[in-house]
Amino acid sequence: MTHEEKNAWIRGLAAVVSYAVYLVLVLGRAGGRPLAEVPYTATLLWTIGASIAAAIVLSIVAAVVSKDGEKDQRDREIGRFGDHVGQAFVAIGAVAALLLALVEAPHFWIANTVYLAFTLSAVLGSAARISAYRRGFQPW
């Protein structure tokens, strides 16, 4: 497994775990009241920060342990492919958040839509990279 594939696994898993932790914490605080009234800001920021920090640390550890060579052309093309897949979900999330803002939805729903879009972007971009490494990749 190349270092870039390991990074794809790390980023995808970090996104899934951090979002799951966020959901458990926020839903646990609801206690029967509407979700839009649940305090979420600090939890959202901490889980995003923890996810980024964990991905960086794990990526450094993987680089030290694996000692793989430099990125080659195939790694760069697979990286671009994963980025394109992920960016599609950022755009979808941005449109959804914009629509929520236009209908004056509570900030809770707008923020959670953006967070979900970023999570889906990371997970699906990573899945696209992993699939390209595992099943082969043919640039068009």
For 118, residues 6+ apart whose C-beta sits below 8 A from its C-beta are 15, 48, 90, 93
The pLDDT of residue 127 is 92
pLDDT of residue 74: 80
pLDDT in the model for residue 22:
97
C-alpha to C-alpha distances, 64 to 57, 73, 112, nearest whole angstrom: 11, 22, 35
pLDDT at res. 55 = 94
DSSP 8-state code for residue 33: S
What was the pLDDT predicted at 75? 80
Give the predicted TM-score (pTM) of the model. Answer: 0.86
User: Mean pLDDT per 10-residue run, the chain (140 residues)?
Assistant: 86 96 94 90 96 94 79 82 88 95 96 95 92 77
Contact indicator for 58, 18 with CB cutoff of 8 Å: no
